Amino acid sequence: MTIKTLTFTGILLTAFHLQSCQVKQNKHTEDTTVIKDSLVLENDSLLTKIQKQTFQYFWEGAEPITGLARERIHIDGEYPQNDRNVVTIGGSGFGLMSLLVGIERGFISKSEGEERLHRILDYLTRIPRFQGAWAHWYHGNVGEVKAFSEKDNGGDIVETAFLAQGLLVVREYFKNGTEIQKEIANKADNLWRGINWKHYTNGQNVLFWHWSPVYEFGMNHAIQGYDECLISYVLAASSPTHAIDSAVYYQGWARNGTIKTDIKKFDIPTIVKHNAKEGEVGPLFWAHYSFLGLDPNGLEDKYVSYGDAVVNHAKINIAYADANPKQFIGYGHDKAWGWTASYSVTGYDAHHPDNDKSVVSPTAALASMPYTPKESIAFANYLFNNLGDKVWGPYGFYDAFSETKNWYPKRYLAIDQGPIVVMIENYRTGLIWNLFMNAPEIRLGLKKLGFTSPHLK
């Protein structure tokens, strides 16, 4: 495939640096709205190109029997653990949201999307569940659990939350449609209602990540902030059938307020205490996975502003790229930046500014587009204009690369491709954010936890 050079317009040289999540939605000025609209308009073909190609991971690249997202796709043909047919539950949640983007953007017809969704939802109904929660992985061709680790062979409430986020978005999208569409909405709603969130507290004021019918809560992994798991608590509090009490959120996730911190990186407040070594920030997917549907703009509990937290997380990555303390090739706010969990030169790694192996993961900057549009779009142009086919393939940008080490593997991961499609759409139209935040039980759940948001007014 030959990449046609996509030049970047002068808008990047003159536009004000919009930080859309740092400004409360109800306080946006007319000027910043015009600037954001200009960025979207000037780069319309670029963003559509990225979304359309990346969407194919969840369309052409889907596991053929189930329609769900494959855990990974290796264009180079080398698959570990014989997992060519392994499907991912969290990545499939991202895929559900991506399918709606595909329908809205005309990448597929509505009828094609409806057929795929029926197949996916029917499969999700049939496979083993654990107190309503799904496992991390399944062998898609036979419908059996693939253990993530020895004791992790049952329910994974975090992966389930990523899927449930997508189920609610699908329900909201189709609930007032045709009879066929209403049937899709009802299937999604039934699956969502069947998740027993309260079971995963094990009778304590915290959610636990795993439960196995063999090992029960033997993994003993309490979910506490801050990382990618906020959505688990929001959904658990919002459940119409198995809801947790607000004390579980405040004592479990928010740690009775100690989630808040004064720590700064590059003189930028982190706002929340990351589940990392003191003074470090985690990989950027922490700012993405919970916020594909949950709109962080103006979202605050009594301790922290999540809108500020996610924007600053991305800004810290940009500041690190400019500082480039290890002098790796290609780094900069208008070049390559963004560190997250992805393939790495040594296998798989959770990259972040304090764990930099010279590996840049395109999803980090691209899925941050609602937070840092100017720098995220500059990053996309840098890849097209300077690296081309080295980093671009049939399902969009490959998962990771290193210019310093001349390392360009042709591999993809579902959990990295999905946020690109969804977050670019949230930047362009707010589609997925608006659908999720429109769900009545989410509004009630957020209020129950003491959140404020422009969507709750």
Q: What is each CA distance from 148 to 25, 89, 207, 290, 304, in whole angstroms?
A: 40, 12, 19, 21, 33
Q: Residue 297 is which amino acid?
A: N
What are the start-end ranges of the E strands in 67-192?
72-74, 86-88, 137-139, 144-146, 155-156
State the DSSP H helix or E strand holding residue 210, giving kind and residue range, or none if neither: strand 210-211
Q: According to the model, what pLDDT value does residue 348 have?
A: 93
Domains and CATH numbers, the chain: 11-456 (1.50.10.140)
H helix or E strand, kind and range, residue 185: helix 179-193
The confidence score (pLDDT) of residue 3 equals 37
At residue 284, the 3 state secondary structure works out as helix
- In the prediction, which pLDDT does 33 show? 58
Q: Write down the pLDDT at residue 76.
A: 85
Q: Global pTM? A: 0.91
Tell me which residues of the chain have a pLDDT lower than 50. 1-32
pLDDT at 39: 66
Cα-Cα-Cα-Cα torsion 247, 250, 252, 256, nearest 10 degrees, comes to -120
